[in-house]
Amino acid sequence: MAEPLIVLRGLWREFPSGDGTIAALRDIDLTIEAGEMVAIVGASGSGKSTLMNILGCLDRPTAGSYRVRGRETAALEPDELAALRREHFGFIFQRYHLLGELTALGNVEIPAVYAGYRVGERHTRAAALLGRLGMADRIGHRPGQLSGGQQQRVSIARALMNGADVVLADEPTGALDRHSGEEVLRILAELQAEGRTVIIVTHDMAVASRAQRIIEISDGAIVSDSRTPAEGTAAAAPRLRAQGAPMRPWRAFLNRLREAFRMALLAMNAHRLRTVLTMLGIIIGIASVVCMVALGQGTQQRVLAEISNLGTNTLEVFAGKDFGDVRSAKVTTLVVADADQLARQPYVAGVTPTVSTSSTVRYGARESTALVNGVGAQYFTVRGTKLLRGRLFDPDGARSLSQDVVIDEETARTMFPDPGEDPIGQILLVGKVPCRVVGVVETQQGGFGGSQNLSLYLPYTTVQARFMGNTSLRSITVRVADDVSTDLAEAAVTRFLTQRHGSKDFFILNTDDIRRTISGATQLLSLLIAGIAVISLMVGGIGVMNIMLVSVSERVSEIGVRMAVGARQGDILQQFLIEAVLVCLIGGVLGIGLALGLGALVSAVVPIIGLIYSPASIVAAFLCSSLIGVVFGYWPARNASRLDPVVALARD
Ligand code: ADP
Ligand code: MG
């Protein structure tokens, strides 16, 4: 013969109290057969709820044995107990324990979500159950819009959702008026008539008298167990399980994931202000990170572009002690002969002397100020400047004081704005000197020597003779031979010129040196930015963790209900983790949006600030924000999933 449905042997439940323990249940022996309707009665504090919680696998005995259908429950893992609750037990609580954010239908469906039934099936079955309990026109109502009796009917429908064969009702009529209480008892009797086992806890003898068996407990022990002669025991149990096969495990998992996602959205919506404030931390964090990275990259690119304007492997020899030397304009010792002699050195690939002055430039009615650069024919090669149109001036242009001028693109645009106008061959009046345009080169961006101004290039001899009236040079640009290191070349040039001049009245800019210094500085800058980014994201993350902890402690009773209807620990973990990640992801996306908006604003208002938003940094910010959600959401979510269902339910 099969073992009875429920068998308790020598069962104790003790609670810690002060230094010792108090026993809420003492040495209980109890057997309940399938199909019985049992009332457990007793005074308040006698241990009825404790017994009920153990029967429903919400709580575990301290000692003794509890067997359900021959299975010893003490040996089961939390998730196996959850499976028992999900598949065999249906709970009806005194205070209904419905989730306020869900409709009646949504509440009834929860057990089926965890059991893995298809959405369509779930809806149909939940609606049918509500319909059967006279709630057909209330399925879209939230608990707050329902009366106590109606809420209790929703909670009965929820208990039946997975086809529970054991219905556990703890003071189901305790919070109801007489009429609604009658209604609930009628439903419970119907459930028994269908073949279910119904166990009711009550302190009301009138309620208990509906049952065929009344068990009285007092002070944790069973004092009487009486049966009224059954007026026809329950029929053989019909099929009670919910119809339809559960989904494959992975489909069921995806389904639960979607439900968890939906719940997270509902919870976020229920606490909009709090959610927005938490998100604000993430939004600001992500936006500032994205902006700072963009600023860093923009600055770096600009600086690198300027360095590349200097040309590679070049040394720039300037007259004077350094850039701050006010007398450098008067230092006239750097001369063309120096350049000619340097050009003969074995470590030099090319040399171009440079002088510069500013002058007006005129073409017809158009007039502007331009930087007039006197350069050698090798200048463009040494600097690596690209020719866009026409040609560069002749190698012997310097000797013949030619008045051929090479203009930069910017000058071409300013002086010859019409698209049809070809600058090549036109005569520009530079100061008082007419010059023929022979070529257009690309504009050198900002920085050292270049500028936003118009730039013209003439042979240095022409500039010396026609504009400056002396033969000293501003600088000599030396291109170092490919196989020589610029540092060695710098030392050699210093030695050579010091010897020629008798003193060191010049200084040398080594482009490699500058490049090294600047890339060192930008690396430091990047590190700094990364540091600030990490800090601001940490602050945002801690905000998220804080809010998640609050959210978990606020929703302990919701967690208890979910566990009572069969949620696994993983389901609870997932739900809260998704909420944390969602807050962070939405915050991250808004933060990226804010950063891009700010960037557009900044480049419209202050164009010289270069911001470069690389897709990589945006993707990284996005990943980063979800990672924050996982990292900072994990602990609160794990706390939630480790809650003891009975403790969670007790908190209200
Ligand atoms: P009833 O439902 O019959 O009113 P309970 O089963 O809730 O009684 O409680 C039985 C006894 O166990 C009471 O003395 C109560 O104080 C004690 N008790 C119940 N739950 C806890 C708990 N979580 N911690 C400590 N004591 C508890
Ligand atoms: Mg109680």
pLDDT in tens, 240-278: 555 556 677 888 888 888 888 888 888 888 889 988 988
Question: What pLDDT score does 355 carry?
Answer: 86
Question: What pLDDT score does 449 carry?
Answer: 46
Q: Whose CA is nearest to atom 25 of ligand 1?
A: 15
Of 26, 28, 50, the residue with max ligand 1 atoms within 8 A of its CB, to mutate for a pocket test, comes to: 50
Specify the ligand 1 atom closest to the Cα of 16. 25
Give residue 87 CA to ligand 1 midpoint distance, Å. Answer: 27
Other CB atoms within 10 A of residue 355 CB: 24
Residue entry with tokens 């794990």: 638
Model confidence at 88, pLDDT cuts 50, 70, 90, reads very high
Cα separation, 46 vs 223, whole angstroms: 11
Specify the ligand 1 atom closest to the Cα of 203. 3
Give residue 217 CA to ligand 2 midpoint distance, Å. Answer: 12
* Residue type at 526 in one-letter notation: S
Cα separation, 111 vs 91, whole angstroms: 11
Give residue 168 CA to ligand 1 midpoint distance, Å. Answer: 18
Q: Is the pLDDT of residue 528 over 70?
A: yes
Model confidence at 310, pLDDT cuts 50, 70, 90, reads low
Cα separation, 462 vs 167, whole angstroms: 106
Cα separation, 318 vs 506, whole angstroms: 5
DSSP states of 38-57 as a string?
Answer: EEEE--TTSSHHHHHHHHTT
- How much is the pTM? 0.72
Residue entry with tokens 């300027």: 306
Give residue 111 CA to ligand 1 midpoint distance, Å. Answer: 27
Domain 6-246 has CATH 3.40.50.300: yes
Q: Are 334 and 317 in contact (CB under 8 A)?
A: yes
pLDDT in tens, 534-586: 888 888 889 889 988 998 988 898 999 999 999 999 999 999 999 999 999 99
**Residue-level length of the chain:** 652
pLDDT (average), residues 632-643: 93
CA neighbor of 29 nearest in space, from 59, 72, 67: 67
> What are the boundaries of each domain within the chain?
6-246, 263-304+517-650, 332-504
Q: Nearest ligand to the C-alpha of residue 216?
A: 1
Cα separation, 272 vs 274, whole angstroms: 5
CA neighbor of 115 nearest in space, from 238, 244, 267, 263: 244
Alpha carbon separation from 59 to 414, 447, 535, 644 (Å, rounded): 86, 75, 43, 8
Cα separation, 444 vs 447, whole angstroms: 8
Instruction: Output phi, psi for 86, to 5 deg.
Output: -65, -40
- How far does CA 560 lie from the centroid of its chain? 29
Q: Are 61 and 24 in contact (CB under 8 A)?
A: no
DSSP states of 333-382 as a string?
Answer: --BHHHHHHHHTSTTEEEEEEEEEEEEEEEETTEEEEEEEEEE-TTHHHH
Q: Are 311 and 444 in contact (CB under 8 A)?
A: no
Q: Is the pLDDT of residue 286 over 80?
A: yes
Q: Is the pLDDT of residue 328 over 70?
A: no
Give residue 24 CA to ligand 1 midpoint distance, Å. Answer: 6
- On average, the pLDDT of the chain sits at 86
pLDDT in tens, 201-214: 998 888 899 899 99
Other CB atoms within 10 A of residue 458 CB: 27
Q: Cα 549–553–557 angle (5° rounding)?
A: 145
CA neighbor of 194 nearest in space, from 161, 164, 170, 228: 164
Q: Nearest ligand to the C-alpha of residue 53?
A: 1
Alpha carbon separation from 508 to 314, 379, 484, 505 (Å, rounded): 10, 17, 17, 10
Specify the ligand 1 atom closest to the Cα of 201. 2
Instruction: Output phi, psi for 175, to 5 deg.
Output: -105, 10
Other CB atoms within 10 A of residue 100 CB: 11
Q: Which of 164-178, 389-403, 471-485 has the highest mean pLDDT?
A: 164-178
pLDDT (average), residues 516-521: 80
DSSP 8-state symbol, 75: G
Q: Nearest ligand to the C-alpha of residue 43?
A: 1
DSSP SS3 for 268: helix
DSSP SS3 for 300: helix
How buried is residue 386: exposed, middle or buried, by Cβ count under 10 Å (0-12/13-18/19+)? exposed
DSSP 8-state symbol, 329: G
Q: Is the pLDDT of residue 450 over 50?
A: no
Give residue 649 CA to ligand 1 midpoint distance, Å. Answer: 13
Give residue 97 CA to ligand 2 midpoint distance, Å. Answer: 15
Cα separation, 246 vs 255, whole angstroms: 11
Pocket of ligand 1 (CB under 6 A): 15, 24, 42, 44-50
Q: Which two tokens stand for residue 276?
A: 């927005």
Q: Whose CA is nearest to atom 16 of ligand 1?
A: 45
Model confidence at 366, pLDDT cuts 50, 70, 90, reads confident
Cα separation, 123 vs 101, whole angstroms: 17
CA neighbor of 427 nearest in space, from 443, 438, 414: 438
| Of 619 and 240, more confident | 619
Question: What pLDDT score does 452 carry?
Answer: 60
Of 14, 26, 49, 219, the residue with max ligand 1 atoms within 8 A of its CB, to mutate for a pocket test, comes to: 49
Q: Is the pLDDT of residue 380 over 50?
A: yes
Q: Whose CA is nearest to atom 20 of ligand 1?
A: 50
Q: Which two tokens stand for residue 321?
A: 């002690």
- pLDDT above 70: percentage of residues in the chain: 93
